[in-house]
Structure 1
């Protein structure tokens, strides 16, 4: 695919879940395309399916209907192993809960996904640590860091793998307002430098306004 072709394409994507009250449809025929370098906010009420859409985009979940193309790969019908391979090489997720590995140092946490993808680059890891103010924290373990520092490690880990699509699920939701603003600034600067596409789930109108495009999920559809 050419560099300007969309990194992510949803065509008629639907997804349902079983509940005590029957089948609940959270996505209804969603169409979406995100190009390299784009920053896109995804907003919506709690339970509207934002995280489900994000997980399908990152090959962490599958659609019931429709097709999903990630970095040129058609995810429909792929085995779990093949989807995992696409996910390792082409997508990275930043979670609200950080999801760092407690038994690994900061340096090894940052390098973790890049090593799995076969893209470990010590120079890049050093640069990311420097830019994110983590250079003097590399030998420490996650429990010794503040929330803001842990989220910076999570961002560095995602960027170090050189993904084509970066997915962020409320990445500043556990941070105070000032720290959240700093972390968002750093994330957007790194995305701009790498040319990755960013799809960010948020409840914050202020954060959504910082993105290049805003999508709202309501009753299973993008509006």
Structure 2
């Protein structure tokens, strides 16, 4: 049974950006909660603010108004340094562009966030590599990998950090349909095994239907 106490709670969140004619509101009073073990799809047309919402949830950006609580942390009350430490320990983000470190091999990329947070688990890293089909790729560098393999490395890196909240921004957007389905299967299985909360941005109705719940962002509001 999923824990009913949210690990992510956004209340009355507003965010605007400067435009040619002044401030343009992107998020208009967002209320969103995600509990441990939940998988939530965040959908909406391009430019609707999905990535902005995700970045605010992950402490990469700040809200203009409203509150954002992540694992009992009020992000508005945290300094930049404390938000950075919070991202290392409680949150992991999977980006569409993979964001692997080209100078590190696969093994070191997977271990990177966990080592920074001070809780690298070599047994877990080896297990993730095996489950994601990366065991024979560990000494290779990102440039030698396919897109699907790079995304698997990004997923392994995120899970290896043992986050309470996992944020994914179009994690299969750069993959072909077959590879995307395989990577999504692997991601959901790993999330189910850890009990982390997953908030996943996607344009794909097929991917959205695989999540436990769907929130649609339109005109700056969730509907």
TM bucket (normalised to shorter chain) is over 0.9
Aligned partner of 1:194 in structure 2 is: 194
Q: How does 1:53-68 map to 2 (within 5 A)?
A: 53-68=53-68
Normalising by the residue count of structure 1, what TM-score does the alignment of the two structures yield? 0.98
Mapped partners of 1:194, 1:78: distance in 2: 27
Aligned partner of 1:50 in structure 2 is: 50
Mapped partners of 2:86, 2:5: distance in 1: 17
Aligned partner of 1:119 in structure 2 is: 119
1:171-218 deviation line (CA, Å, top 9, x unaligned)? 000000000000000000000000000000000000000000000000
Mapped partners of 1:4, 1:106: distance in 2: 36
**Alpha-carbon distance, 1:85 to partner:** 1.1
Aligned partner of 1:149 in structure 2 is: 149
1:118-141 deviation line (CA, Å, top 9, x unaligned)? 110000000000000000000000
Aligned partner of 2:170 in structure 1 is: 170
The answer to whether the aligner puts 1:131 opposite 2:131 as a matched pair is: yes
Normalising by the residue count of structure 2, what TM-score does the alignment of the two structures yield? 0.98
Aligned partner of 2:212 in structure 1 is: 212
**Alpha-carbon distance, 1:116 to partner:** 0.8
Mapped partners of 2:32, 2:179: distance in 1: 31
1:92-112 deviation line (CA, Å, top 9, x unaligned)? 000000000000000000000
Mapped partners of 1:124, 1:38: distance in 2: 22
List structure 1 runs of 4+ shifted beyond 6 angstroms. none
The answer to whether the aligner puts 1:73 opposite 2:83 as a matched pair is: no
* DSSP-derived class of the 2:14 partner: strand
Aligned partner of 2:5 in structure 1 is: 5
**Alpha-carbon distance, 1:26 to partner:** 0.4
**Alpha-carbon distance, 1:151 to partner:** 0.2
* DSSP-derived class of the 1:203 partner: coil
The answer to whether the aligner puts 1:36 opposite 2:32 as a matched pair is: no
Mapped partners of 1:15, 1:41: distance in 2: 20
- Paired positions, count: 221
